Every structure is written in C-alpha cells, then in structure tokens.
Structure 1
C-alpha cells in the first residue's frame, strides 16, 4: 500500500534532511499496519494527522554545516583556528620566527624611512616636477667646469623668449654678515642671500606672516624664517619691523616663512630682495653680462614642456648674444629639482659660495647600497621562516595526511600555510612598528632627520609598508606551503618523514646565503671603520690638534688684524697665532688661480691659493723644505709653493723665481683679479705637501701668498692653544675682539673637528652598517638555533644509541654541530671575494686609503664560525646530556 503522495511531499519539504529517511520509514510502516487493521480510508486520515504532527521545530531544524558547502568565511575561520592552535602549541618556533621577522622588519622600516626621506627631497613644492635648475657646462683650454649657475641675462631673457619656460627665479649669496635687531642688539652671523620675486612664485615656501606676492618686490625688504624671527624678536609676528644687515640702510621684514623641512635643499635663513642692490655698481655689471656665473637660476617649465628642448634653446640664446673667447664653449642643461640632492656630486654650487650643508649632500650610490641592504635583511628574516617551516614539515605529516584523506585539496593546504605565514608576519609587523617608534628619536638624532611612522606619516609610506607586509608573508610562506601540500596521503599517514633531497639542499643553500650576507656586512663594517680611523689619524702634513680657528666677520676686525694677532699672542695659553684667508679643511671655496713662470708662453697651470702670514708655518707646524719663510710686509709679492706646485712649475729650489697670476676663480669660472692687474710674484720657499682637502682628493698644487695679496683677503685667525682651561682662553679671545669691534661675536671652531666633518657621513654609514650587521647576524643565529633544535629533536634516538655505545658529550656535540659549521665555512668562501671586490671599489673613492688586509677576512670568518658554533652547541650539548633511557623509551 502506498501512503498519500502529497502528504509525503509535504513531509519531505519541511522535514530536516538528516531526519527525513527515519521519519518517513516509521510513518510508512505504521500506515501498512493501519490499513490491515482499520482500512485504507481511516489509515490515510491517520497518516495525514501524523504528518501534521511532525510540523514542529525539532523536526524542521537543519544542520547546514554538515550538509551544505562551506563558505569562504567558514574556511577562513577554520584556517585561523588551526593557525593559532599550531602557533600556541609550538611556542619556541613561533617565538624564533616572530623575533627574526620583527628584527628584520624593524631594520627594513628604519632604512626604508631614511631612503624615502632622501628620495623625496624637495617634493614638498606642488610644482616640483616642473621646476629645473640651470646647469652650465663651460670648457676652456684650462678648465672643464660644471656649475649650477647662470648669468642674470639667461634667467630674464629665457623667460621672455623661450616658449617652454613659464617663469624663473634666482638667488645669489655674497658672503656672511651680522643680522641684528636694532632695538635689543641681538645679532647673528647669517649668509647674505639675495633673491628675486620669482622665488616665492615658483616654490611653495609656507608663509606664516606677510604677503607672498609682494614680499620681495620692494628695495630694502627682507624675508626671514620663523626660527630666525624667534632668535631676533622672540616672536614670529614681526612683519613691518626692521633689521640691520651690515648695509648702509635698515631692511624691512615683509614676510616670515615656516622653517624648511629637513628634506629640503634650501637652507637659507633670510632672503634680501634683489631690488635692494639693483643700484650697486657690481650688480649693474652683472645684469649686462651673458656668460657669467653669478646666479643660481631655477626655471618653471610649462605643462608637458621638454626640458632638453628648453636647455638647447637656452644654449642657442647664449651663443647668439655672448661673445665667448676663442676655445671657450658653454652649454646648458636643466636639472630636475628632485635630482639636486642626490645627483649633484660633480656639480659646483653656483650661488657664489659653498656652505657647510653642501658637504653632506646625498649620493645615489649609497641610496642604492642601503636599499639593497634593507631588502637583504628582510630576505634573511624570510629565509628563517622558510627554513624552520620546511625543517618541521615531518611533525605535521599526520595532520596533513588526515586532511588530504578527508577531501582537502592542495589549494586548501596552500591557503592554510599561507595564512599561518601572513599571521606571523602581521604580528611581527605590529611589533616592528612599535619598536621603530621607540627607536626613532635616537635614529633621527643620529641621521639628522625628522622621520616618523604614525597617523600623520605620508600615506605612501603606509602603502609601501602594507605592500612589504603582503610580500613578506607570501615569500615566507610560499615554499613551505607548496612543499607540505604536495605529498600523497598514503605516505603521510604512514608517518614517513617529509625529507626529500631538494628541500634539504634548498634549506642548506638558504643558511649559506644568510651567513654570506652576514660575513660581507662584517667585513664592510671593519673596512669602513679602518678607513675613517685612518682619515682621522693620518699625518696631514701639519698638526691639527688644539687649533682654534676664529672667523673674521667685520671690516673693523679685518683692518685691526695685526693688533688682534698681537693681543691673542699675549694670552698665556696661546702658543702661536696666524692670520690667513683660508685654512686646511676649509668648508668655503678655496680660490684657484692660473699660474705660470714669468715669460713662459705655455698654458697657465691651475693651483689653489691661500693667503698667510709669517707665522703660518710655525702655527700649523709645517716643514719648510728649502728657501725661507715670509719675513713681513716686505714679502707682499712673495709666495711659497707646496711640493706638488713646485714640481708643476719646474721649481726644484726656491731662489726668487718669478711667476705670474693673472686670474682667479672662486668656485666658478676664472676672471681677472680684483685689481685688474696680473699678480707678479717670486718664489721664496717650498713647503712639504699637506692635505688641505678631503683624503678623497689627491694633494693639489698649493700657492701660499703673503696675507696682503691681490687675490684674496684674510678671513681667519688660527691659534695653537694649550689644552688647559680652554673656556677661559676663548673668553679672553672674545674680549680682544670686542675691544676692536663691540658688535663682533666670537665665532670659532676647532680645526680637527672641522676636518672630521669631511668624513661625518662615512661615520654615520659606519655606525649604521654596524647595527645592520649585528641585526643580520642575530637574525641568522635565530634561524640556526631553530634548525639546531629541530635537528637535535629528530636525532634524539640516534644520540641515545650512541651514548649507550660509549659516545662522549664532546663526540655528540661535534656530530650535531659539524653539518652547520660546514655551511658557515662555505658561506665564508663565497663572502670573501664578494667583500674584497665591494670594499676595494668603495676605497677607490679615496685618493689616500687603507689596503684591505688578510686578517680582516680571517677575523670576520672566524667570528661567524664562533657565533654559529655558540648558537648550535647549546642545543647540541643539551641533546647530548639527555638520559639515553628517556631517548630510547618507546612512544
């Protein structure tokens, strides 16, 4: 008998699938019995009543998790649950992975912030992509000069006649002078910089008080930055007030600018309007010249304008209007504003005088080096994760086998292991961001930056950080996930070890790679340290210790130099005093001159020139090889030569040979001497060569002219002092200066400190390399420690058998350590030639440098071996000391 079909359909519709067969079976059996006892009609009526009685929640409720397909959310929830279960069950390996990645990511982020700051120099200006600096390339028979400068005419006429140029701006520095508040006499030495109105039209210098459009229009006006405003007036609301700037008239403040950010190529504290000097004779000569180099000029190009086309038209404009000497050629190109910081090593500063900041300009080579280092450190951290994950694959064989036998696809397992990797990486990134913010104050002080990693950080940094997070997670987990998911369920459930030859070779290769990078970093750090120490301790040809260099900053002090020198000499702690125009280690431009023997028709040679008095050799402790020293005013036309200059001029012994010096250059092109007459001088002595530039440069020809010469005026007092009570000595020097000029402040520096500034960037790089080297070694050791721990776990029964057979702890330690030490030895073999090539390439930047000794490689390699041995031996000794009874006990 068949029950009512419609009733069955209704029951199948509302009854839960997992109860459907059972309920229908019971109702059908009951229906057959009722038909036999009550008949078909009553049995059908009773059947409907039973069906309706099953319409209740307990029968209707489904179990979708058992019978429906799991959603992506369900799968992700499952991945996360298994991930956290795995991480908490293996606390040691989780800690090693998180620690390694945290240190790697911290180094990566710190270096990344530094590089981002370097690469985004001058990009705070909204139109920076259209702003270019004019670069002049000038060739003559005696010079080949690339200078960031142009003439007044080039800036003005190019704007009018070249269609690609929308606007122009220019600046010129003419030296330093006192800027003072006439009310309270606050005075500060500042560089005198003149600029035209286009400066505030091209650049987005933030104006916090005053009018941007008109602030540089009027004569006798000046704009200052807020830091200088606070020093002078203790306020930034100073528009309309006046300052004295060693001119014959006061200057009116027309605007106050926000302080320059650290990643700006502009460092001026004050800009005087160009109109202020428009009536001066010197400026009048400038504005009529086409081929001079008096101004640093910037051009704003129109949208989509080609800078090469604009530069070619500037060159054509020059050639049409300038009358160049025979054998002279000038060509212009345009340097993007964003390139000034990193791509100006071979370009002379064209604002007429260099400044201290120019010595620390960035170099793209070091940016590339540190970018590679940052990637390598992060890669080493990723390698740790890969090594530990693949090494511990055997411990998860049954888990993977059961999941594959239950229907899990390879893609599911890959997703699972990638999820684990991304979770570990995310935890490491969070910890690294916390650590970076803890370290940033010290890092900023060290690098002289204003780096940050927070809510107000440039959004691009966070985008790069998130990208690095994703890439790190995928790279770390990719190989382990594919390796662990490819084996068959049968092999996994038989508890076979997942240890194929390829994975073992890869793991060994990764360990070798880690220690190769670590050893290279160690060698580079030692070589850099040696070179910096060599530079600071090398015999420079003079004694730099306890030398105080005092600037001459006023006409009164310059005219009273003889009196001041005499009074300085009377101070008990002052041993000797010299007056000079420049000093060795000079941060300003040392003038060069054209020079040749009198009557010689050959091309002039080029030599540097320093004006000095008769005390110069004694004060600087220089050696006079032959001839005599200056004797006083009677030697105003006499000169001394260094050995290099004497050889260049063919002078073997000084005996009054006559030479002519017709022209000089102050960092730019050569021009006649200020007197407009050739300086005819006689050679009275030859001094031993001395280093007056960085050791990166070879000793160049040097002419020492008497202090009163037509080439360059005096600018410094240099005093050799005793090491006792230095503050009192400086105070007495200040009193001497004040007697001559009451407004003159004592501005001084110690010569050895100034010379050390040549290598300040190298010292920063040395320190950074030391910390990065330590980080790479630490991260590599974390991975090695984890691998050693796993190796000891896998060989625990073998160790037990060997101990029972009489193996000593030393034997077992050697057994467990030798495989890892072999890898470190291989790493040394690869690292040595790489480090030798890289360090010698860097050392070639210096004309005078150390040679890389063999012991540097031995020390670095031995250190790597010792560190690896200490890392591995701990686990090896621990495993060797385990009671063999416990090792051999059946599971």
Structure 2
C-alpha cells in the first residue's frame, strides 16, 4: 500500500517548467517511486527534502537544452476577452474602480514628484565638463570662541584673497584657479537707465574652468584688463535692448563710480548650479582688494581650483599644509598662544570639496547648499504613501470579491483553470494600474508648478525628461500592479466551484491581516498629522512672538553710497528732508538691518576670549524700533564722548558678569592705553537674529571708524495709507538722490524670510499629510466595506430584532475608533521624538503639550469616522429581507 504523503507540489511544477514534454512523464514516475521508498525508509520530512534535491539535480544543460521551449502564450482572443471583462467590471463597480485608480494615481504622482526632486538634487553642477577635477577650498580652523568640545572647529568657504595667486605660482597640480565673491550689489548706469544689480567678482580662469556657455566673447581673453564686464542676456537686454552690447561702456558705482567695457555675454547659470551670477567683473575691482591681498589673517574670498588629471589628493592636502605653514606660521603661533590651544591640535587647515558634492555638503554654508536628509525623508514618505496605496488596493479588491464568486464558480465549472483565472484577475489589476498611471502623470504635470513653489525648485518637464519619467512610471506601475493585484487574484481564483454553486460558500472574508496594515496606514497618517500641527504652531509662534522691537511699517532702505562717510551724511540729509512729511514718523541709520547681515567682533578681556555682535547706529535707532532700555540712556549727538560709547544688551552684561554695567567699560577694540568704550545704557534683550539662535551678546555704537558706516536707513512710516506713504518716501528719495535707484524692503518681511526653509518644509509636510490622510481614508473605506460584507446577515437579524439605526452605526464603527486609538498610540512617541529634534533647531520653541496631541487625535478620529460612515449608514438602512436573502 502506497503512502498518502505527497511530494512538494511546487517542486513538481518546477520540474514540469524546465523539463521537455517527452521526458517529463518518465522522470516524474521514477522520482515518485523513489519518493515512496524514501518515505518508508527515512520518514516524511526527509523524503520531501530528498525529492526536492533530486528535482534540482535534473536542472542541468543536458535536460534543459533538449526542451523546445514551447512557451504558453496567451492568444490574442484570450487577451481580448480579459480586456473586455476588465472594462466591464470597472464600469460595473464605478465607485470602487474610481477610488482604487485615484488612490494609486496619487501614490504614483507623489513618487514621481519626489523622484524629480531627488534627480534635481543630484543634478547640481553635473553639467560642467571638468567637474571631476574642480574643487572648492575651505577653511577648517580651531574656534577659540566656540563652546563645543566635541567639534570646536569653524568651517567656511571664505579664504584669503591672496591665496589664489600663491596656489597657481607654487603648486604644479593647480592648473587654474578663480576667486568667486557673489551677493554684493552696485548701482549700474547706462544712459538714463539706473538700477541696483547683484555683482559677482571672479578671475579670468572662471570662464575656462566652468561650462557656462559664452554667447559672445573669447573665454581665453576675458578679464585681461581690470575694467571689463560680462553680462547675462537678461541684463544685456535690460540696458541695451536690441543694441549689440559688445564694446559698449556702462558705469558701476561701488564705493565710487567706474566705467566698464562689455567684453562678453554669458548664458545665465541654470537652476541646478551652485554658482549664480548676473553681472561678472574682475576680482581686482572688489572693495578693499589691494588691502586684503597680503592680509593672511583676513578670510573674505571663496576660491575654486582645477587640478591636473589624476592628481594625488593626499599629496595636494600635504602641499596645502605647507602653504599654510609658509604664509601663516606667525599668525598661527599667536593664535595658538592666545587660545591656549594644545600643540597636537591643528589650528588651521585648508580642506576641499569636489564641485559635484558642494550642493549636498551642508557642513559648509553656501547659497544653495541642501541637506541630503531631505531627499531621504521625502523618498521615505513617497515609498510609504505608495505602500498605503497598495494596501488600499488589496483591501478594496477583497471587498468586491464576494460579488464575483458566482462568476468564478461558473468559469471553473466549464473548464477554466486556476492559472487562467489568475491571468484574468492579474490583467484587470494591471489595467487599473495603467489607468492610475495615466491619471498620475496628469497630476504630475498639473501640480509640478505648485510643487516647485513648495520646494523652491525650478524643475521643468522637457520632452526628454517626460519620456524618461514616463518609462520609469510605467515600470513602477507594472510592479505595483503585479504586487498589489497578486493576492486578490490568487484569492479570487481559489474559490471552489462546488461550494459556490451549491450556495455553501460563505461571504465572510478573513481580514485579520488587513487590520494591522490599516493600523500602520493610519499610524503613518497620524504621525504626519501630529507633525504638521506642531510645525504649524511653531511657525505661528515664530511669526507672532514679541521680538523685543516694533517691526511694523518700517522700511529698510540702502543708502546706495557704498561703505564710506557719505553713507552717514545721506541718512542725515534724508531725515532732514522727510521730517516735515506726515507720512514719515522717524528715520534712523544702522550698519545692517535684520536678516541683511551682521558683524561680530572677538576680543580678549582679562585673558579670556569674548565675542559680541556689533551694530553701528545713530541716536534715532532705539526710539524708531521702540527698543526698551533696561538701564541707562540712549546716545546723544550733543555729547562728544558718545561717539565712542556703547549700549549693550542684557546678554552681554550677563556674559561679562556685570551687576552694575553702567560703571564699566567694554574694551572691544583691545585698546592697550585706555579703558575702552564707556557703557552708557543697557537695552532689554531683543531678537536681532533668528529665533533659531539664542540671544547672544550684542552692543550698539556710534564709532563709525571701527564699527562701520550707516549703510541702511530704517524709515518708520504712518500706517494709515501705506501706498501713499511709500510714494512720499520715493518722492523724497528722488528729490535727494535722483541719480540713485530707490530700493527698499519691509523689515517684517525680511524677518519672516529667516524662516523660509522651515515654511517650505511645513508646506511639504502639509502636502504629504493631505496625501497620506486621503489615501489612508481610502484604506479605511475598503476595510469598512469588508466589515459590512462580513456582518450583512448579523445586521439583518439585529434589525429584525428591533435594533435602531444609531445602535447599528455605533456597532459597525466601534472597531475603527479602537484602530485609530491604536494608531495614535503608535504614532505619538515617534512624532514626539522627530518633532523634538526639529524644534531643537530653535532656541525659542513651543512646548509639545498634550493638547497638541489631543487635537491631532481628535482630528484623526473625526476623519476616520467620516470615512467609514458611508458603509455603516448604507448597511444599516438596507431592508432586512434583502440582507437575510443575501446569505
């Protein structure tokens, strides 16, 4: 008597798949006979393992190559049938088809948008031909003022002005080098056209190192002379219109008026460039260039070098160390002595970063530097949203499966094989996924401009990129369609025809695996909800917090005179001109406005290294901003000694340990013959920097020779009619300085721009939260549908027994409340941890109280109940006679 134990079916299927038809019967018979013998001798488990081993032994070229490879290709008639059935089922179940397609399309669209974002991040500076050999040099110096024992180093892209020439002269591996100073501004004049423009100072090698195409001009001859200028097409058109700008002369006013000849037109830097420019002029024209050229203790100039191919970078590093020792040995020795720096610590070294890596190298501040974690976070969110969409597909497919049990039973009864049914349902899944792909691509095109606004990008869909995106989307869609549709296809094809046709099939679906997935969905949504609420509250706190000064209706107007004595005179003249105008309340002068720069001084007092921020101001500064004095008095122009006095903030008094600061002097200039600047007042702490930073020691002074000139006017205007007040200020400016452009910003807008990156992330999180909530609600909708199907008969009986609509509603929705509570319980610790890390960037932040979590939970529960109420109400209102007949 043969054993009833059977060998693994998958092994037999595998054998049939690679074995020729003529050999399969014979080989399988021998294997089965051997299997029966092995069962008697070794037992069931070992016999099954041995059977698998024997099957794999036949998987060899001698067997496989004798196969004629007759592939079982689904003929076109069958495909046509599958297509017709798929279309008919989509039309029959319009609601579920729409929800499935919409959910998948959102997931696909979000993934594609994130893909475009990541590709854009990776594409920065990749268009340069010599990118592999171009490096940005960087300073890494021991910071004696930094209170961080783990990383007491300062990293900056700003180096010595004279370093470029030394490197080209003394290091053979340096083939080309250019300095790059951007962000400065100057007044540009041509004829009657006068504007303020951003200036970029570079060297002649710039045009040969980088691949910014020249439209006109010779890259090998540019900037051979000091008075040359290269323009972008937009600037050329702005000043010259249809004229040929080459050879024309324009005037640029930076600390004095100079004439420049246009010798080149260069394409504007693309959006994915770390270097940006509008108007390029030689480095030799930069203010204080000659003075800084030999100042090796002055760090003011970013420098790029192009090395010879196959340069040994370690040798290059050693040579940089030799340059530092050669030109800065005395400065470094003094630096080490003043800071008591141990001999085994390098005081200063020059490091470098490849051009391709600059954008994602956040350790060194740069205009367009980005955190690579942004891409990882967004990529993770995209994958999770797509996963949620796939879970929804499975849930909704199972919800509708019982309505197709008769179809499956009849198909099997007339001879359909399980594989054919799997093909059919799999084809339906792919068809729905393709529909979702088309909708998803449409959503990408529709929402790309808004996504650019959220992420501060300039991504565009060209024909090439759209083709690439379409190909990737198709691959992703086919993968999602196969993965998401595989389980429903196998589930539907497993219905037994005898049970279905005899009425023995139960419509109750086992969804034990679905609930944990839905909890995971909602937990992710809850995490995003909580995070979004906390981010919103923090940004609301930042924008409404009392900063210690009045920023309303204050204009910041540059004096347009340069860094000289004329700036102070301009402030006085403008104040005198506007003091009779009721539209202007007051005019004050300062060396820099909020979020428009700052100056920090380091000094030594009693052998201890100290530092403080310093602002040059006039006596009108404190009353114009309504800064409150805690002690002492304001500056007075009538008192001669006030020109060297200082007004400190409470943070500086605390840092110095002064209990009676008005009796002290602040020797911030390290005056060896005097006591230093007399402290005449103490202002209450106000936020002159971002709320991301603590209020640090700061002082105000009228010492223009050491602290700088009043290059910015703070003009407080009347708030009754702002447009009229602006026009009055503009008229006053034109009457005083008709040859200079009138530029201004509102101080409150400048302050708000400090948090632009956080605002963008809040917007991105809000967008992600909206997508996740929407798709998760679709998942809850599917689960509610399954639950309604499972409890159809129960609800009918309860209604016959007198159950009210509200009782049934509560009965059906009670489990979703529990699922939501479980989800929030899981999400709360994670969101607390992540948001605590995010809030740590702010020295002044909200506290994450339980009210925020309760609010988020309440919102989540409301959305969940609103989502599942459709099925609950629909099921509760069905006639009991119909529901009992359903079973």
With structure 2 as the length reference, what TM-score do the two structures score? 0.83
**1:71 pairs with one of 67, 70, 73:** 73
1:486 CA drift (Å): 5.9
For 2:119, the equivalent position in structure 1 comes to 116
Does 477-486 or 540-549 show the bigger shift? 477-486
For residues 654 and 89 of structure 1, do their structure 2 counterparts lie closer, same or farther at Cα, with a shift above 3 Å needed?
same
For residues 413 and 210 of structure 1, do their structure 2 counterparts lie closer, same or farther at Cα, with a shift above 3 Å needed?
farther
SS at match of 2:135: strand
Deviations 1:231-285 (A, max 9, x none): 22224842221110125541111112222322322232111023657xx9x4345
SS at match of 2:252: coil
Deviations 1:818-850 (A, max 9, x none): 233322221121111121111111111111100
For residues 777 and 159 of structure 1, do their structure 2 counterparts lie closer, same or farther at Cα, with a shift above 3 Å needed?
same
Is residue 626 from structure 1 mapped to residue 631 from structure 2 by the alignment? Answer: yes
The alignment covers a number of residue pairs equal to: 792
SS at match of 1:325: helix
For residues 810 and 241 of structure 1, do their structure 2 counterparts lie closer, same or farther at Cα, with a shift above 3 Å needed?
same
SS at match of 2:608: coil
SS at match of 1:222: strand
* Kept in 2: contact 1:799–1:880 (CA 8 A): yes
* Kept in 2: contact 1:531–1:850 (CA 8 A): yes
1:462 CA drift (Å): 4.3
- CA distance in 2 between partners of 1:140 and 1:511 (Å): 52
For 2:537, the equivalent position in structure 1 comes to 530
For 1:355, the equivalent position in structure 2 comes to none
**2:773 pairs with one of 772, 777, 787:** 777
- CA distance in 1 between partners of 2:526 and 2:293 (Å): 59
Matches within 5 A, 1:107-146: 107-139=110-142, 141-142=144-145, 144-146=153-155
Is residue 202 from structure 1 mapped to residue 212 from structure 2 by the alignment? Answer: no
For 1:512, the equivalent position in structure 2 comes to 519
1:487 CA drift (Å): 6.8
* Kept in 1: contact 2:399–2:789 (CA 8 A): no
For residues 415 and 153 of structure 1, do their structure 2 counterparts lie closer, same or farther at Cα, with a shift above 3 Å needed?
farther
- CA distance in 2 between partners of 1:770 and 1:835 (Å): 14
For residues 305 and 803 of structure 1, do their structure 2 counterparts lie closer, same or farther at Cα, with a shift above 3 Å needed?
farther
For residues 807 and 233 of structure 1, do their structure 2 counterparts lie closer, same or farther at Cα, with a shift above 3 Å needed?
same
- CA distance in 1 between partners of 2:243 and 2:503 (Å): 77
* Kept in 1: contact 2:523–2:826 (CA 8 A): yes
* Kept in 2: contact 1:394–1:497 (CA 8 A): no
Does 309-318 or 817-826 show the bigger shift? 309-318
**1:317 pairs with one of 306, 309, 323:** 323
**1:687 pairs with one of 675, 683, 686:** 683
For residues 112 and 304 of structure 1, do their structure 2 counterparts lie closer, same or farther at Cα, with a shift above 3 Å needed?
same
Matches within 5 A, 1:724-803: 724-803=720-799
Matches within 5 A, 1:425-440: 425-440=433-448
For 2:354, the equivalent position in structure 1 comes to 336
Deviations 1:359-408 (A, max 9, x none): x7533333332222222222211111021223444444455566667776
SS at match of 1:604: strand
For 2:574, the equivalent position in structure 1 comes to 564
1:424 CA drift (Å): 1.4
SS at match of 1:710: helix
Gaps of 5+ in 2: 1-69, 147-152, 337-346
**1:576 pairs with one of 583, 586, 604:** 586
For 2:275, the equivalent position in structure 1 comes to 266
For residues 215 and 761 of structure 1, do their structure 2 counterparts lie closer, same or farther at Cα, with a shift above 3 Å needed?
same
Is residue 300 from structure 1 mapped to residue 309 from structure 2 by the alignment? Answer: no
Deviations 1:475-534 (A, max 9, x none): 322433454456777666666658899x62221111111111111111111111111110
For residues 426 and 542 of structure 1, do their structure 2 counterparts lie closer, same or farther at Cα, with a shift above 3 Å needed?
same
For 2:654, the equivalent position in structure 1 comes to 647
SS at match of 1:855: helix
Deviations 1:77-118 (A, max 9, x none): 554444334333332221110111122223333343334323
For 1:718, the equivalent position in structure 2 comes to 714
For residues 423 and 156 of structure 1, do their structure 2 counterparts lie closer, same or farther at Cα, with a shift above 3 Å needed?
farther
- CA distance in 2 between partners of 1:216 and 1:861 (Å): 64
For 2:200, the equivalent position in structure 1 comes to 193
**2:830 pairs with one of 834, 838, 847:** 834
For residues 135 and 490 of structure 1, do their structure 2 counterparts lie closer, same or farther at Cα, with a shift above 3 Å needed?
farther
Does 334-343 or 537-546 show the bigger shift? 334-343
For 2:11, the equivalent position in structure 1 comes to none
SS at match of 1:849: coil
- CA distance in 2 between partners of 1:682 and 1:717 (Å): 26
SS at match of 1:295: coil
Does 525-534 or 105-114 show the bigger shift? 105-114
For residues 882 and 406 of structure 1, do their structure 2 counterparts lie closer, same or farther at Cα, with a shift above 3 Å needed?
closer
For residues 411 and 316 of structure 1, do their structure 2 counterparts lie closer, same or farther at Cα, with a shift above 3 Å needed?
farther
SS at match of 1:655: helix
Deviations 1:327-348 (A, max 9, x none): 452112212323333333x434
Does 431-440 or 605-614 show the bigger shift? 431-440
* Kept in 1: contact 2:200–2:277 (CA 8 A): yes
Is residue 253 from structure 1 mapped to residue 273 from structure 2 by the alignment? Answer: no
Matches within 5 A, 1:486-497: none
SS at match of 2:460: coil
- CA distance in 2 between partners of 1:683 and 1:109 (Å): 60
* Kept in 2: contact 1:154–1:318 (CA 8 A): no
**1:550 pairs with one of 544, 551, 557:** 557
* Kept in 2: contact 1:418–1:478 (CA 8 A): yes
Larger Rg: 1
* Kept in 1: contact 2:182–2:277 (CA 8 A): no
1:771 CA drift (Å): 2.7
For 1:37, the equivalent position in structure 2 comes to none
For 1:16, the equivalent position in structure 2 comes to none
For 1:817, the equivalent position in structure 2 comes to 813
Is residue 388 from structure 1 mapped to residue 405 from structure 2 by the alignment? Answer: no
Aligned-residue Cα RMSD (Å) equals: 3.1
SS at match of 2:446: helix
Deviations 1:751-792 (A, max 9, x none): 111100011222222223223222221222223223323432
- CA distance in 2 between partners of 1:551 and 1:112 (Å): 42
Is residue 614 from structure 1 mapped to residue 619 from structure 2 by the alignment? Answer: yes
With structure 1 as the length reference, what TM-score do the two structures score? 0.82
* Kept in 1: contact 2:824–2:857 (CA 8 A): yes
- CA distance in 1 between partners of 2:426 and 2:319 (Å): 58
* Kept in 2: contact 1:120–1:263 (CA 8 A): yes
For 1:87, the equivalent position in structure 2 comes to 90
Gaps of 5+ in 1: 1-67, 350-357, 664-672
For residues 161 and 876 of structure 1, do their structure 2 counterparts lie closer, same or farther at Cα, with a shift above 3 Å needed?
same
Is residue 105 from structure 1 mapped to residue 115 from structure 2 by the alignment? Answer: no
**1:229 pairs with one of 212, 236, 240:** 236
- CA distance in 2 between partners of 1:587 and 1:758 (Å): 10
